[in-house]
């Protein structure tokens, strides 16, 4: 994410917390990040083309 943010103009959310210890209260790894504007992928997934247009 850091590479994409510094080398492209693609919007990248800010990561506020990254927990990699499985022994935490949740019992798995998790990430808390900034919410980005736009349409959630799950709402348009079925309408996306299988192959990119050229």
> Model pTM?
0.63
The tokens 């349409």 sit on which residue? 39
Write phi, then psi, for 49 (nearest 5 degrees): -70, 150
- Half-sphere exposure (Cβ direction) of 22: Cα atoms closer than 13 Å: 0
The per-residue pLDDT for 50 is 84
Both structure tokens of 54: 């050229």
Model confidence pLDDT, tens digit, residues 7-40? 999 999 999 999 999 999 999 999 999 999 999 9
Strands 30-33 and 15-19: antiparallel
What is the pLDDT, as a whole number, of residue 53?
65
């Amino acid at each position: 994410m850091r590479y994409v943010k510094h080398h492209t103009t693609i919007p990248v959310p800010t990561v506020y917390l990254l927990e990699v210890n499985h022994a935490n209260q949740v019992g798995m790894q998790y990430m808390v990040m900034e919410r980005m504007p736009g349409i959630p992928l799950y709402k348009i997934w079925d309408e996306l083309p299988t192959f990119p247009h050229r």
